[in-house]
Amino acid sequence: MLALIKTGAGPGLALETVPDPKVGIDDVLVRVERTGICGTDLHIDAWDAWAARTIEPPLIVGHEFVGEIVQVGSSVTDFAPGDRVSGEGHVVCGKCRHCLAGRRHLCARSIGLGVGRPGAFAEYVVLPYTNIWHHWPGVDPEVAAIFDPFGNAVHTALSFPVLGEDVLVSGAGPIGLMATAVVRHAGARHVVVSEPNPFRRELASRMGATLVVDPRERDLADVMAELGMVEGFDVALEMSGNADALRSAIDSMAHGGSIAMLGIPTEKVAVDFDPIVFKMLTLRGIYGREMYETWYKMTVMLQSGLDIKPAITHRFGFRDHEAAFAAARSGDSGKVIMDWTAAREAG
Ligand code: NAD
Ligand code: ZN
């Protein structure tokens, strides 16, 4: 099969022919139709310090996908060829305290698809059946392709109650954009999106932001005054990984407010703990998705009218992977999708 591979230590990815994956007794083999490019894939492509200490080439990259099951292992009874599915990208151990208690998102031994095991930027991908999500009828195939990052957005956005609350979203990358639509759908009052990139601010408005702000030009106290907010934000979703964004969120919270932290800082962040203590804030780290409550919530919110499709801005055939990665890297994009169906037609 054709697959997009990190062939050795250093920048770049190559489209190469590799053996088809082997299907174990508990595995599901999926013919990939569409994939989404994640920031993780950009890190692996660029071969930054994180990638250099984490990735062992050769590796097929990618973890956001939708496709069709073509084969199941002999122990698999709940899935069948023809099912349209996506994969949960965290393969958990299944044996630890949290896994056994059903809190699989807290497994300390989870292995990432396209990070610690062969990924989904390929004609075929294999996963254990416990990592497969069977899409309900009617889910848009492009939206299905990005259930993984959509799940990051939903997991973060719903980690604290937002009904009637004022919510700050820091960072309008693909995940912040989707989270904006989610908190709006979930009944937030004001949704303020802070984002330096004008292309993404414009998209955030389309996703339902009450107000978008360039943090370099205007501070949040000013925004709160315009909206008639008295105390501060009830909930903040940190989706930038930027130290200044985190500090200004902490400073702008109402007493008793909660910050869900998804963004991954690229360096250590110095934080003033005074406002955290005296305002009695809650800070919660968010990693991945809850298996499979988040997946259920994504599905039913789509059924009840949530629209995240405007967050998808670019589409490429898989052979144009360099252009696709360039679009994702540029920042002037939301989610970038690669289509793998042409591989099947050609082959
Ligand atoms: P992204 O890098 O595309 O988006 C981050 C956005 O933050 C960018 O648009 C950037 O312009 C903006 N930003 C930069 N400085 C800012 C500032 N001072 N204030 C406000 N915004 C600022 O990333 P993404 O794919 O949307 O993911 C969001 C974050 O979540 C990233 O940090 C990513 O690494 C992280 N992530 C975490 C998990 C997890 O499980 N915890 C999973 C996926 C991604
Ligand atoms: Zn575990």
pLDDT digits (tens, 9 = 90+) for 292-322: 999 999 999 999 999 999 999 999 999 999 9
- pLDDT value of residue 4: 98
Residue 170's contacts (CB-CB under 8 Å, 6 or more residues apart) are: 176, 194, 195, 236, 237, 238, 239, 240, 242, 245, 246, 248, 249, 263
Query: Closest Cα to atom 2, ligand 1: which residue?
Result: 173
Cis peptide, bond prior to residue 58, ω within 30 of zero: yes
Token readout for 79 is 């899935």
The number of angstroms, rounded, from the C-alpha of 222 to the middle of its chain's C-alpha atoms is: 30
The pair of three-digit structure tokens given for residue 2, joined into one six-digit string: 């054709």
Out of 88, 239, 251, mutate this one to test ligand 1's pocket (max ligand atoms within 8 Å of CB): namely 239
Closest ligand 1 atom to 288 CA:
40
Sheet of 233-238, strands arranged across: 211-213, 191-194, 167-170, 233-238, 253-261, 282-285
Nearest CA to 191 out of 56, 199, 201 is that of 201
Residue numbers annotated as active site: 40, 43
pLDDT at 342: 85
Q: Which atom of ligand 1 is nearest to the CA of 197?
A: 11
Pocket flag, ligand 1, residue 215 (CB < 6 Å): yes
Q: What's the full length of the chain, in residues? A: 347
Tell me the best of 150, 264, 269, 330 to mutate to test the pocket of ligand 1, counting ligand atoms within 8 Å of each CB and taking the most. Answer: 264
- 109, amino acid identity: R
Regions of the chain with pLDDT less than 70: 344-347
Q: How far is the CA of 174 from the centre of ligand 1 (A)?
A: 8
CB atoms under 10 Å from CB of 76, counted, come to 20
Counting ligand 1 atoms within 8 A of each CB, the residue from 150, 159, 175 with the most, and so the one to mutate, is 175
What separation in Å is there between the alpha carbon of 105 and the centre of ligand 2? 8
Ligand 1 pocket residue status of 239, Cβ below 6 Å: yes
Residue 90 is which amino acid? H
pLDDT at 346: 56
Q: Say whether the peptide bond before residue 292 is cis (omega within 30 degrees of 0).
A: yes
